[in-house]
Homo-oligomer: A and B are copies of this chain.
Amino acid sequence: MITREEVMFFDTDCGGVVHNLAYLRMIETCRTRLAAKLGLDLPTMSETRLYPVVVRTEVDYRAPAKLGDWLRIEGRLAEIEGAKFWCSFVMIRESDGQILVRARQALALVQMPEGKPKRLPESLKAHLLKEG
């Protein structure tokens, strides 16, 4: 899944570059669209209240983005590990192709409001095989 974001004022801080939390919000948009492609779309989740919940995040900040930069976020299903699935992300500045951020997130499917973890659907594994 590829998403694009233009760096806004609210993404930056007084250091003059994008704030570390803003990249994670952009990654979340990419991950949500990726999840939809994997069969976990927002309207369905909103009804069933079965949500993918982030259980671990790892982010490496390599180089900073600036106001007005266009960023390209590439996310993919990377691995399935028991009841968790890992997504990996890379954020690239479009003007020069520089890699700015790399991230990995582990997610579990959780039934809200009880907070009960659920087994991953077989369809996720099928997606992984197809992409791998």
Contact = CB atoms under 8 A, between A and B. Distances in A.
Interface of A: 6-10, 12-17, 19-21, 24-25, 28-29, 32, 41-43, 45-46, 49, 51, 53-61, 64, 66-68, 110, 112-113, 115
B56 A60 contact: yes
Given A10-B25, A15-B53, A46-B68, 19 more contacts: A8-B28, A9-B14, A9-B32, A13-B13, A15-B113, A16-B112, A20-B28, A20-B57, A21-B21, A42-B68, A43-B67, A46-B67, A53-B64, A56-B58, A56-B60, A56-B61, A57-B59, A57-B61, A58-B58
Q: How many copies does the complex hold?
A: 4
Contact of A28 (B10, B25, B54): B10
Contacts of A66: 14, 46
